[in-house]
Amino acid sequence: MNPLEHLERRLGYSFNDQGLLTRALTHRSQGAKNYERLEFLGDALLGVVIAETLYKKFETANEGQLSRLRSSIVRKETLARVARALNLGEHLLLGPGELKSGGFNRDSILSDVLEAIIGGIYLEVGHDVAAARIADWFATELASLSLSQTQKDPKTRLQEYLQARALAPPEYKVINVEGKSHDQIFTVQCCGSELPPDLIGEGASRKIAEQNAATAALKILQLD
């Protein structure tokens, strides 16, 4: 059994056109025939399928709650987690530079490839089969969702709290970055005139670190 057949077993789908799967696995650093167009298609379909699933699952949720739930699923970090569960990193076709820098484990590439595979399945057999594969791959993520997760993110909540009191919005400063380019830890400080100076957050991306710093601020303000 060749490596792609092992992958197809994990995907639960066998491509009629193996070239389509190969393209879905090919990063632009490897050549002009890469996954970017397929990713565009898969991204659009993934958003529709997840939106429809959430609409049916949470019958009492309003538009804002549904939007936040969808964002928690279709974000880069969640897609990369699903991609790792499918071991997509083992099959990526990367140029020498990306290979050397650990591109096979980078969230942005893994999430893009997952969307490209969705796009490839859609091109071969249409919406229903692609939607079924999405439902299967994201089953664990979808099952863990609840409406309690739909409150606004920490940065938004902190900014709204300060604005309601006519205070300046907080600033976020990166004070340290550690690790190699594909495995970094960011440390961010949340600063504001009404906030203590030692509000720190860490995370695998600047965005995550900022959210964690905002969470620390909310706890100090006894809002979390």
Catalytic residue numbers read 43, 115
Phi, psi of 41 (to 5 degrees): -70, -45
